[in-house]
Amino acid sequence: MTADVGLFGPDSVTWKLHREPILLLGGLRSLYLQALHPRAVAGVSQNSGYRADPWGRLLRTSDYVGTVVYGSTTEVREAAARLRRLHARMTAVDPRTGERFRIDEPDLLRWVHVAEVESFLSTAVHAGVRLTDDEVDAYFTEQLRAAELVGLDPATVPSTAAEVADYYAGLRPELALTRDSAEAALFLTVPPIPDLWGGGRALRLGLNLGPPRWAYLGVAGTAIGLLPPWARKMYGGLGWPTTDLAARLSARGLRALIATILSTLPKQYQVSPVRRAALERVGLA
């Protein structure tokens, strides 16, 4: 009986890339990038409870990505169906025009998909994950399967590094720093952080600047530094090559730190549960 490898499988670039914990940083980078699309960020702001439950929303998003990458065929289909049903019920109002729109419009789904996938890839490469040019293009091409899950026509989605660059260049005139963008970026940079040393209370900037806050600010700063120069400029940052270099060094340091921490844990905790289940399913545990 052939093992169910889901959408990708052990020979895919996707499995190779997503075994890297540093992709959590890529997920944060993608949120900063996605927030520069006025309609996309308005849709999130008007429909999401991210301010009330930021870590819960992050975990749910992470669970979905993990399921798409490592889940069985049935698990992937069920997760995608739930997401499509959720999106189908949501609308938002464009604050610039007053127009009401569906958040599952193809243009918005495409932006979120490309920003997320490119962020995962770029963050991993900047952090020192070695991929050939062919593997980079293969990753984008493999991710067309994930794009199709949310309702996109794969033929309309960039599938190589060059196509992604062209897509960004063509879309940049539509991007802007709106009030929703600025509020989302500020929240991403200084969210409530669980106080591991104080009974579970949320830390607030100015009230407690202990290790968790400073550590997270460093992570958020690295995510911003890894944005394309044009995106950093939209946030009021610098587009200098030295900023790129500093962010890459920081990302490599974070990757090394994560690897060191994981190496001290029991083996069963060194691999995420969803990846461990996939490896067991295909006989590679």
Q: Please report the pLDDT score of residue 163 as a whole number.
A: 98
pLDDT class for 40, splitting at 50, 70, 90? Answer: very high
Q: Which two tokens stand for residue 251?
A: 């990302």
Residues near 192 by Cβ (< 8 Å), separated by ≥ 6? 54, 202, 203, 204
Mean pLDDT, the chain, rounded, equals: 89
> Residue 192: left (phi > 0), alpha (psi -120 to 50), or beta?
beta
Q: Which two tokens stand for residue 37?
A: 């699309």
What phi, psi does 36 have (nearest 5°)?
-85, -5
Q: Please report the pLDDT score of residue 190 as a whole number.
A: 86
- The pLDDT of residue 208 is above 60: no
Q: Which residues of 99-108 are buried (b: 16+ CB within 10 A; e: fewer)?
A: eebebbbeeb
Q: H/E element holding 167? A: helix 161-171
Q: Please report the pLDDT score of residue 194 as a whole number.
A: 55
| Eight-state DSSP code of residue 201 | P
- The pLDDT of residue 202 is above 60: no
pLDDT tens readout for residues 147-178:
999 999 999 999 999 999 999 999 999 999 99
Helix pair angle (241-263, 211-225), 10° resolution = 130
Q: Which two tokens stand for residue 15?
A: 């499995």
What phi, psi does 93 have (nearest 5°)?
-110, 130
Q: Which whole number is the average pLDDT over 23-41?
A: 95
User: With DSSP H G I counted as helix, E B as strand and the rest as coil, what are the percentages for the chain, rounded to 5?
Assistant: 65, 5, 35
Q: Which whole number is the average pLDDT over 270-279?
A: 90
Q: Please report the pLDDT score of residue 119 as a whole number.
A: 98
pLDDT tens readout for residues 56-114:
777 888 899 999 999 999 999 999 999 999 999 999 999 889 999 999 999 999 999 99
Q: Please report the pLDDT score of residue 1 as a whole number.
A: 54
AA letter at 172 = R
Q: Please report the pLDDT score of residue 191 as a whole number.
A: 80
